[in-house]
Copies of this chain bind each other. A is one copy, B any other.
Amino acid sequence: MMIIMRSDASQQEISQVVERVEANGLQAHVSTGAERTVIGAIGDGRPVQRDLFTLLPGVDRVVPISRPYKLTSREFKAEDSIFPLNGVQVGGQGIVIIAGPCSVESRSQVLEVAHAVREAGAHALRGGVFKPRTSPYSFQGLGQEGLEYLAEARQQTGLPIVTEVMREEQIPLLTHYVDVLQVGARNMQNFALLHAVGESKHPTLLKRGLSATVEELLMAAEYILSHGNRRVMLCERGIRTFETSTRNTTDINAIPVLKSLTHLPVLLDPSHSTGNWNYVSAIGRAGIAAGADGLIVEVHPHPEQALSDGGQSLKPERFAELVRQTQAIAEAVGRFVYPAANHVKP
């Protein structure tokens, strides 16, 4: 780390910092400029507390040199991480599309959606059975009953299942039924959950928190990886800003930024990142054009009757159109969308 001294720091203050650096087993490199002195604290790569130095007299600020994540970084692993998902590959040249309702509401609903998205070209089925709702008075999900319906949908369509996990205790049950655990935006920094998901070794879709930086998303992924689970997909789903014309602001920049910083696959969820079905297709296309490895999209056969998120759900025919647009954009950027035929019935 680099310790930048105040321009009025005394020689004694500088010496004190150097002593503290060396007392912590680091080497001190002193650079004296026209205005300020900067002291480089050179170590062996182990983390050192910044506050050890921030609080010393004469110190203006401390700038870290190393990035705080390792296993998730491109510097640690240069080539893209690629995970198989029932006949398709997430993170390679092919684009993967996950679709389905926000919540599993009934057997007939989930089967209807599953067949519809399968036919439209989706590669996996999403659907929540445990729902994080901001209001205690809203629908909270079907629980295990919903998992049974998802399993039936999987059997009928061959689509692997993506479902959100909200509590560590749900992991054994969920891993029995579902192919990919989703860690939702509100749990991105639920470290106990990240720890448990890491130990489960189950493929995981990690969504960015509403106000999480790209670096914090990578730190959350680091939690999962550091507990032994390397099959992590990241998902941009919109951040919170001052703009209110859409529910969230799609941080489209995060797509190429993440692709440059990490080897993990990066998906976009245009349903949550806009919160309005009118804009989902445009932003889905934009995500693929910017380099995303896939999309996760909310689809509902009767959005106006949905128990949650109806306003951002596409009807199946609009979703089918989005799949065709995605294919066209994928080709324009030298990639492709896996054909439906790639699916293997389980």
| Of B63, B69, B241, B289, the contact of A63 (CB 8 Å cutoff) | B63
Given contacts A35-B45, A282-B289, contact A51 B4 (CB under 8 A): no
Evaluate contact between B242 and A304: CB separation under 8 angstroms: no
A:234-287 near B, CB below 8 Å: 239-246, 249-257, 260-261, 273-274, 277-279, 282-283, 285-287
Number of copies of this chain in the oligomer? 4
| Of B189, B223, B310, the contact of A49 (CB 8 Å cutoff) | B310
Evaluate contact between B51 and A40: CB separation under 8 angstroms: no
Given contacts A52-B304, A239-B241, 12 further A-B contacts (CB under 8 A): A6-B75, A31-B42, A33-B65, A190-B190, A239-B249, A243-B251, A246-B257, A249-B251, A282-B290, A285-B332, A289-B290, A325-B333
Binding site for B on A (CB under 8 A): 2, 4, 6-8, 29, 31-36, 38, 40, 42-45, 47, 49-52, 54-56, 63, 65-66, 68-69, 75, 78, 132-138, 166-168, 186-187, 189-192, 194-195, 209-211, 213-216, 219-220, 222-223, 226-227, 239-246, 249-257, 260-261, 273-274, 277-279, 282-283, 285-291, 303-307, 309-311, 325, 328-329, 331-333
